[in-house]
């Protein structure tokens, strides 16, 4: 009996046992903790069909979702200095950059830019990738947003920015903070040209990003449940020594208090943006004069 149980039965179980299940076949929703079939989740644009939780998605998915027929042309942003401050914490900054680029592709950073048409209206989209160092805004991200604004003005196209960021990138110090006024000026170029400037606030939009270009869109759209604000709720509570209201800094709370114009589920976002662009689109026969790019 011992021979049968020790040698034969384990062999049989191995032969007839289940095949290993791939790690990426299922995903658990952090909102309702339901287990979701990955294929269904992708078909639902990474939105939980049980509770409506919106998973974070990258710039490539945003472009395919927004542009007509998923047809778009990516724009290579200007080259920027790598590790200008030679910063190091637990790791070298240059090493962190390599890790981020390994996940998203060589030469990438937190912001990607593409142009195409949305609802048959020319548009330039700048989308953040939270997977790249928390979508933090450094010099490269600032240059990408400035480049997106310039292209929008030159081509008389709408500009749509989709932030997903923890704020300024501390590894670049003051150079990162300087991107706040630069991106505001870039957005103003689009507005002065009479072109639509839309911001789609996604989870999270915080820190220096929330306090700069993300706050001045002609129309502020937010995805359901997105956290939007400068400082975190815990920091605010510890500072003012008061309990914050339920849902504070969530998209729905901000809508109730007039901080955003609309909260739009991801499945309705493309149609909503297309409708807004058609309403706002007023081509300017005299394009704005662009200032010279800094050396």
Per-domain residue ranges of the chain: 21-55, 57-280
pLDDT at position 59: 96
pLDDT at position 105: 74
pLDDT at position 185: 97
Sign of the CA dihedral with 61 first, then 67, 69, and 75 last:
negative
pLDDT at position 4: 47
pLDDT at position 103: 79
| Residues β-bridged to residue 220 | 199
pLDDT at position 16: 54
Of 194, 203, 198, 204, which Cα lies nearest the Cα of 220?
Answer: 198
Which of the four CATH numbers 3.40.50.150, 1.10.1040.10, 3.20.10.10, 3.90.226.10 does domain 57-280 have?
3.90.226.10
* Token couple for 69: 């027929």
Q: How many CB atoms lie within 10 A of CB 125?
A: 28
Beta strands in the chain (DSSP E): 26-28, 35-37, 72-75, 111-118, 121-128, 158-162, 197-201, 205-206, 219-222, 228-229, 262-263
Contacts of 122 (CB under 8 A, 6+ apart): 115, 155, 156, 157, 158
pTM listed for this prediction:
0.86
pLDDT at position 295: 47
Q: What share of the chain is helix, strand, coil (3-state, %, to 5)?
A: 40, 20, 40
Low-confidence ranges of the chain (pLDDT < 50): 1, 4, 295
Of 127, 129, 199, 128, which Cα lies nearest the Cα of 158?
Answer: 199
pLDDT at position 173: 95
């Amino acid at each position: 009996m011992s021979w049968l149980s020790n040698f034969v039965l384990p062999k049989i179980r191995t032969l007839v046992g289940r095949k290993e299940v791939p790690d990426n076949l299922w995903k658990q929703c952090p909102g309702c903790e339901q287990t979701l079939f990955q294929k269904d989740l992708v078909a639902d644009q990474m939105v939980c069909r049980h509770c409506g939780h919106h998973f974070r998605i990258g710039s490539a998915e945003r472009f395919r979702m927004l542009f007509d027929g998923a047809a778009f042309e990516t724009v290579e942003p200007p080259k920027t200095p790598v590790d200008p401050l030679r910063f190091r914490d637990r790791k070298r900054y240059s090493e962190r950059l390599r890790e981020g680029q390994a996940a998203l592709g060589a030469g990438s950073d937190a912001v990607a830019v593409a142009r195409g048409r949305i609802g048959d209206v020319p548009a330039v989209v700048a989308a953040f990738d939270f997977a790249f160092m928390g979508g933090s805004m450094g010099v490269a991200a600032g240059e990408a947003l400035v480049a997106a604004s310039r292209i929008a003005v030159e081509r008389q196209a709408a500009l749509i920015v989709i932030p997903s960021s923890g704020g300024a990138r501390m590894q670049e110090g003051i150079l990162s903070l300087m991107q706040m006024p630069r991106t505001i000026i870039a957005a103003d170029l689009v507005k002065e040209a009479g072109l639509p400037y839309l911001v789609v606030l996604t989870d999270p939009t915080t820190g220096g990003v929330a306090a700069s270009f993300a706050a001045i869109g002609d129309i502020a759209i937010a995805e359901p449940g997105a956290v939007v604000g400068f400082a975190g709720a815990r920091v605010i509570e510890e500072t003012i020594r008061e309990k914050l209201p339920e849902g504070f800094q969530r998209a729905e709370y901000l809508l109730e208090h007039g901080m955003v114009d609309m909260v739009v589920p991801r499945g309705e976002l493309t149609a909503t943006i297309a409708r807004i662009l058609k309403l706002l689109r007023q081509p300017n026969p005299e394009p704005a004069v662009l200032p010279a790019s800094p050396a």
